Amino acid sequence: MARIDRHPDVKDYVLELSLVEIAARGGLADLFEQGHLVLIRDYRLPVDFGAFAAMEKDLDLVLEPEIRRRVKKLTTDAFLDGEPPVRRSRFDRDGPALRFKDPLRQAIFDVLCRGDAQLFEAVKTALRRAQDEIVRIFGICFPTYRPFRFIPSIRLTQTFFENLHWDNHSIDDDFHQARIFANLDTRPRIWHISHHSDDYIRQIYEEQGLARFAGKDPNALLEFIHADLLGGTRRTWMEALPKHKVAFDPGEVWVGESRLISHQIYYGEAAMVFMWFMRTSDMACPESRFNARFAAVHDAMAKGDRPNPPPV
């Protein structure tokens, strides 16, 4: 099981439920929309974690800057889809064992998979199994959601001491998202999590003059907090908020609305971050959608409502 160290000054929104319990209650859309982080209890992805551990983690070995940037945030189709590679002729002593038309897939093979065709196939097999499982889990957790877009994102490189942040999509469309995370590493993936975005905005609203963001894209408000108040990606020492600490075991799966839950990857290597996009009419409670939460904060503060008291 994951280790969870809870901070007394942060709302306790972490839950642990088994897939049987989730199915029995008809899913967890209501809990997800309320901002809970839900760990799937008594479950581990049945995949070969050793394949991911054997991969190269040094991205400096990818010489092309644009390809290096794309390798940091891949989707599973880089392994599972695309035109099959051509195998090197046994009469050819030079060049890679597999040749891909797509330069991104070639870099994945040459660098991340160390030019090893067996390793590439092992990772591909593990990703296919993991993706099938996560899609199955999505159906159990969100049986009423009807996605119009799916992004099966994967992280196969090291992350240390990430800045605390809330995810945003840099668009003001009023949509809903679901995210399922999984640790593909042989070691724990360590997260620090703090306040919900709307709770934190209430705390700093008057001091930071956040009324100027009323009626605007809520992502712009989050970006201001990330970059100007919490230090962004380059000044992570500026932020000193209280945090719960969670160490997710290898193969562990968890669910959370990352636009509501502030999070910091303190350490991690291989992971899945699968995203589904839905219309707000699919939600258990459309009034709790991301854009509506921010609008409610602006409305409440304009009426002089005081911020929520600190958790006890």
Average pLDDT, the chain: 92
| Chain segment 200-239, per-residue pLDDT in tens | 999 999 999 999 999 999 999 999 998 889 888 778 777 8
Mean pLDDT of 150-165: 91
97-113 burial, b for 16+ CB within 10 Å, e for fewer?
Answer: bbebeeebbbbbbbbbb
Model confidence at 310: pLDDT above 50: no
Q: Is the pTM of this model over 0.85?
A: yes
Model confidence at 30: pLDDT above 50: yes
Mean pLDDT of 167-182: 86
The pLDDT of residue 312 is 38
